A and B are shown apart, each in its own frame.
Chain A
């Protein structure tokens, strides 16, 4: 199952899809997907019996990350898709037409980070009040902001030494 999903994700345009230790990390497949290939990768998962878990933003420098979690109903295959996007004007395509459940998750991350989900029909505040405007509470202030490579060694630039999640 894990290998099939990895192969299918890579065929759908994922940069890499690694099988990782579920006991230590909590997922079976950890895939890095360019924003352009996200919808294709998600459609692959929709074809199998995957259910959507959540959409998570992680604010970091120089790029922020949007993480998607899916789980297979039979178990044994929890998939994480990581999408990197620009920090100043983050934008990734919406997947709410593939998984309608993503609608609320995307709105929530739009509330918290200001991530634009291109193609989303209604990005009005879901959890924050209607007049929240540009509050973006989970954006890291300068002091707290770290580089992606520091928090996730797998994303460190090659010369820094960290590699392979």
Chain B
């Protein structure tokens, strides 16, 4: 039997299952973490009733969401309405394929890894647009309009800041980028630091996290693009949002924070089981550190206004990232890497 199936395929299927499972587990944990962190920021314990310290709260909530009827509004475009949550959830999971969790823990090491991730991440805006349009609800439409303008604008500085890294390394391949950071992380170079800050801010905007959560600004648009979604339709948007956060943090870790590399004195670059576990730990610590900062920001800041958001992008972020890119090009020419 084992001869009938190519081992590569088995490896692919198993890794895909692991990645999808990881995405779900990540969302479940993040929802709980978000609520707990939010609770402690707000001087309350957060969910506390289900299970010890409320640890099972997310599981119960997930069950509740699955048990709910999926309602489609009368005037909605039914096909698109049902498609949108899937569009929002699948691409970020697919993008996880090229993320190097450790030296050997990577499903596919594409030579266009960064491009692959960014193109899949861009589908998110399509999902929001489809959801907002098909709902036949004015608030949803407003959410969609905002999302498109916001994501299109913020995609530019996002790409420019990643280009800094790509230009430095000279490769789109994720494993090359990590390997280039063996010893020093890009975040500790002046250009890398600026690019990291820009990337972080645009990442917040791309994942529609506060203070840039305008597409779902609930005090203005009730719930924005997902106003009409109930049950698992909403649940999938939720999963998509948290997977997107994970993806954004994973790219930041890979491109700026040295990926699975530990700090200098703790770097482990082997391919054995123990070394892989250590590398995985470093990777996850960095990823969840970034996510915690995102959560922290969400519960601390008010929401920006729409025009301020776009002005900030076009007038501040894009010029700075352009200048940063030019500076990187000059320096990379003068000081070849390695």
- Direct touching of A and B (C-beta under 8 Å): no
B interface with A by C-beta (< 8 Å): none
